[in-house]
Structure 1
Amino acid sequence: MTHLHFFIIGALLSLATPLLVAMETCPASGMPGIPGIPGLPGRDGRDGVKGQKGEAGAGSRSAVGPQKGEKGELGMMGYPGKRGPIGEPGEAGVPGVGGAPGEPGDSGTVDVHQVAAFSVARGTDDYPEKNNVVRFTSVITNIQDDYDTETGHFRCRVPGTYYFVFHATLDDRLCVLMKLDHTLLTQFCDHRKTRRQVTAGSMAVYLSKDQEVWLETKDYRGMRGGLQGYSIFSGFLLHTH
């Protein structure tokens, strides 16, 4: 039985109820009937048509705020970053302005300052004094009088490296010391006792200005000779520094 059938039955029962009540008032009417069964709920109706769009509300749109805020305060300095790669060399700058001329140097003669040499002889039959400076009194070459025949000392005028050499004629044992400002540079000794012979010694040494070099005897001093047998002491500048 469908819902429609129940609906019809319910409607008929609702119409019959007042009739039964009217019959109840009549003395000759019968007993009231049994109430009918309630009808089933009806189905939902179909969706209605969509309504039209409503009108805009009465409220106004809020104003747009500023586009950019004010600049904030400077923050604290951060830690140094890593060193970046080395850039390419830049172009050469414009040459600077030339400096002022320097003060004039001391006057002098180039040839005099760059040349130094001497060669002196001892042509006497007397032995030199023991433990004393050997004086060579006969001058062969003595540029600017760098060798002093009175003291027996050579004084450096041009700083640089010098070469000194001596040749001695002797008839007895001989020990000769070469000194620089009372400091022993070296010694040359010949301990052979003979009638007549020649010995020699040499060395190169650096000298500063005003330093002095000379020869000095020790225990053995057999240096002697006449006009035919000189003892010679020489020195010359190799190069300046």
Structure 2
Amino acid sequence: MAAPALLLLLVLPVGAWPGLGLPRRPCMHCCRPAWPPAAPGPHVRSIDGDEWGRLPRVRPTIDIAILKGEKGEAGVRGHSGRSGKEGPPGSRGLQGRKGQKGQAGPPGAPCQRVYAAFSVGRREGLHSADALQAVPFDTELVNLDSTFDLASGRFLCAVPGVYFLSLTVHTWNYKETYLHIMCNRQAVAVLYAQPNERSVMQTQSLLLPLAAGDAVWVRMFQRDRDNAIYGERGDLYITFSGHLVKPDAKL
């Protein structure tokens, strides 16, 4: 009888054991409970009627998208902030296209030009008779505004500015030629030729600034030798010329 009874115990389910008077062990938790403990759920019983415990209560979730409202209107624009510090200069950009040609401007005021010029000559030869002798002239080639006096041999400047002056003479055989181009009482240039058996043409030229009222003339300078310049009635060997190159900027 012992063998059939043991077999019966193994086949019977656990729920049938209380009827057989077998001891039942209480249910114990095998893990630590969560904190705070969840709200008690409904009782759950096993198939055989024993109470296993309570299920945790599940909290409902809400879809936020369903509760989203409409987009509101834009608010009032705030005040602009202060300007920041100036940044470093940037690199040079590409060259732009060439612009169109502009229209011609109005004509300017007419330029007022001034002129001054003279060119005179001497046909007769001249020997120095005094230590400081002015050379007179007898031929007038150009004499604008009659500014050159032939008898005194002087050009009186009426238009201030820079002038070009030129003196040309023919030397006399075996005689010294010694002349000065004078401005008022100051010698500014010399024309000189030593005595020679052959006569030659000698020229001296220069640029000279003249003020209004300055006098320009030619002077013979006598030393211990005979000083002379050659001339003939038929030809013009001696000439003295000058003209205005640039007027004074104040004009």
TM band (smaller chain): 0.5 to 0.7
Counterparts in 2 of 1:181-192, with a 5 A limit?
184-192=187-195
Q: Compared with structure 1, are the counterparts of its residues 91 and 44 closer, same or farther at alpha carbon in structure 2 (3 Å cutoff)?
A: farther
Cα deviation, residue 62, structure 1: 8.0
1:115-148, Cα deviation, whole Å (9 max, x unpaired): 7342221736651532x35221422424233322
What is the count of residue pairs matched by the alignment?
A: 200
Unaligned runs of 5+ in 2: 1-8, 29-43, 48-59
1:176-232, Cα deviation, whole Å (9 max, x unpaired): 12234555443122232x688455223253656745432223353612668669862
Q: Compared with structure 1, are the counterparts of its residues 91 and 188 closer, same or farther at alpha carbon in structure 2 (3 Å cutoff)?
A: closer
Unaligned runs of 5+ in 1: 14-35, 47-53
| Mapped pair 1:119 → 2:125 | no
Q: Is the 8 A contact 1:163 1:238 kept in 2?
A: no
- How far, CA to CA, are the matches of 2:190 and 2:96 in structure 1? 64
Q: Is the 8 A contact 1:134 1:216 kept in 2?
A: yes
1:37 to 14, 23, 29: 23
| Alignment match, 1:73 | 79
Q: Compared with structure 1, are the counterparts of its residues 87 and 215 closer, same or farther at alpha carbon in structure 2 (3 Å cutoff)?
A: same
Q: Is the 8 A contact 2:220 2:227 kept in 1?
A: no
| Alignment match, 2:90 | 82
Q: Compared with structure 1, are the counterparts of its residues 87 and 209 closer, same or farther at alpha carbon in structure 2 (3 Å cutoff)?
A: same
| Mapped pair 1:235 → 2:241 | yes
Q: Is the 8 A contact 2:121 2:236 kept in 1?
A: no
| Mapped pair 1:205 → 2:224 | no
Q: What amino acid is aligned across from residue 82 of structure 1 in structure 2? A: G
Q: Is the 8 A contact 1:178 1:184 kept in 2?
A: yes
- How far, CA to CA, are the matches of 1:208 and 1:157 in structure 2? 9
Give SS of 1:154's match.
strand
Q: CA RMSD of the aligned region, Å?
A: 4.9
| Alignment match, 1:10 | 18
- How far, CA to CA, are the matches of 2:238 and 2:101 in structure 1? 64
| Alignment match, 1:174 | 177
Q: Is the 8 A contact 1:134 1:215 kept in 2?
A: yes
- How far, CA to CA, are the matches of 1:124 and 1:94 in structure 2? 65
| Mapped pair 1:162 → 2:200 | no
Q: What amino acid is aligned across from residue 241 of structure 2 in structure 1? A: G
Give SS of 1:11's match.
helix
| Alignment match, 1:218 | 221
| Alignment match, 1:29 | none
Give SS of 1:216's match.
strand
Cα deviation, residue 238, structure 1: 9.2
Give SS of 1:119's match.
strand
- How far, CA to CA, are the matches of 1:168 and 1:91 in structure 2? 64
1:37-67, Cα deviation, whole Å (9 max, x unpaired): 2257599869xxxxxxx9x9xxxx6865633
Q: Is the 8 A contact 1:118 1:236 kept in 2?
A: yes
Question: What's the TM-score, normalizing by structure 1?
Answer: 0.55
- How far, CA to CA, are the matches of 2:92 and 2:230 in structure 1? 83
| Alignment match, 1:149 | 150
Aligned residues: percent identity?
12
